[in-house]
Structure 1
Amino acid sequence: MDVLMTLGDGSTTFRFAVDTAAYQSVKRKTEWRWPAQDRLWADPARQFTGRGTDEITLDGVILPAFRGGVGQINALRELADAALTQGAGARPLTLVTGYGEVLGRWVITGLDEEQPTIGERGAALEQRFSLTLAAYGDDIA
Structure 2
Amino acid sequence: MDILMTLGDSEQQFRFAIDTAAYQGLTRRTEWRWPAQERLWNEPVRQFTGKGNDEITLEGVILPAFRGGIGQIKAMRALADRALTDASGARPLLLVTGYGEVLGEWVITAIEEEQPVIGPSGAPIEQRFRLTLGAYARDMA
TM-score (norm 1): 0.96
What value does the CA root-mean-square deviation take over the aligned residues?
1.2
Any conservation in 1 of the 2:84–2:91 contact (CA below 8 Å)? no
Distance in 1 (alpha carbons) for counterparts of 2:136 and 2:87 = 16
Deviations 1:10-52 (A, max 9, x none): 1210000011100000000000000111111111111001100
Where structure 2 has 5 or more consecutive residues not aligned to the other structure, the ranges are none
Q: Which residue of 2 aligns with 1:33?
A: 33
Instruction: Name segments (4+ residues, structure 1) moved above 3 Å.
Output: none
Listed as ranges, the matches of 1:84-123 within 5 Å are 84-86=84-86, 89-123=89-123
**8 Å CA contact 2:83, 2:93 repeated in 1:** no
Whether 2:73 is the aligned partner of 1:67: answer: no
Q: How many residues align?
A: 141
> 1:87 deviation in Å?
7.0
Alpha-carbon distance between aligned partners in 2 of 1:17 and 1:86, rounded to the nearest angstrom: 26
Q: Distance in 2 between matches of 1:24 and 1:140?
A: 35
1:31-86 residue CA offsets vs partner (Å, 9 max, x unmatched): 00001111111111110011000000000000000000000000000011113423
Aligned-partner SS, 2:86:
helix
Structure number with the higher helix fraction is: 1
Percent identity, aligned pairs only, is: 72
